[in-house]
Amino acid sequence: MPPILQADVYVSSRLPLAIKRAGEPSLFSPISCTLIHGSTDAALVDTPISISQTEDLAAWIKATAPRKSLRYVYITHGHGDHCFGIPTLRAHWPDLVVVATAGTVAHMREQLGPAILEGTWLTLFPNGQIAAVDDLQRELSLVQTLTGSPKPVSFTLEDHKLHAIEVGHTDTHDTTVLHVPSLRLVVAGDAVYGDVHQYFGEANTPAKRAEWLRALDTIEALDAQTVVAGHKRAGTVDGLFNLRKTRQYILDFEDAVAKTKDWKELAGEMQRIYPNRINPHAILRGAAAAFPEGGVVGAKV
* Beta carbon of residue 189, minimum distance to Zn ion (angstroms, whole number): 7
Contact 187, 228 (CB under 8 A): yes
Does position 46 bind Zn ion by CB under 5 A? no
Stretch of 53-61, 72-80, 139-147, 207-215 lying at the interface with Zn ion (CB under 5 A): 72-80
Does position 174 bind Zn ion by CB under 5 A? no
Stretch of 37-45, 55-63, 142-150, 182-190 lying at the interface with Zn ion (CB under 5 A): 182-190
Does position 238 bind Zn ion by CB under 5 A? no
67-71, long-range: CB < 8 A, 24+ apart: 67/40, 68/37, 68/38, 68/39, 68/40, 68/41, 68/42, 69/40, 69/41, 69/42, 69/93, 69/95, 70/42, 70/43, 70/44, 70/96, 71/41, 71/42, 71/43, 71/95, 71/96, 71/97, 71/157
Please enumerate in sequence order all residues whose Cβ is within 8 A of that of 39, keeping only pairs 6 or more positions apart, or say none: 3, 68, 158
Site for Zn ion in 245-284 (CB under 5 A): none
* Beta carbon of residue 31, minimum distance to Zn ion (angstroms, whole number): 6
Stretch of 50-58, 79-87, 213-221, 233-241 lying at the interface with Zn ion (CB under 5 A): 79-87
**CB-wise, 37 or 209, nearer to Zn ion?**
209
* Beta carbon of residue 49, minimum distance to Zn ion (angstroms, whole number): 9
Nearest to 144 by CA among 101, 113, 87: 101
With CB under 5 A as the contact rule, the residue among 46, 81, 174, 238 that binds Zn ion is: 81
Taken in order 48, 52, 55, 57, is the CA torsion positive or negative?
A: negative
* Beta carbon of residue 80, minimum distance to Zn ion (angstroms, whole number): 9
**CB-wise, 79 or 281, nearer to Zn ion?**
79
Nearest to 34 by CA among 176, 182, 187: 187
Does position 190 bind Zn ion by CB under 5 A? yes
**CB-wise, 81 or 238, nearer to Zn ion?**
81
Residues in the chain: 301
* Beta carbon of residue 48, minimum distance to Zn ion (angstroms, whole number): 10
Residues that bind Zn ion in the complex, under the rule CB under 5 A: 79, 81, 190
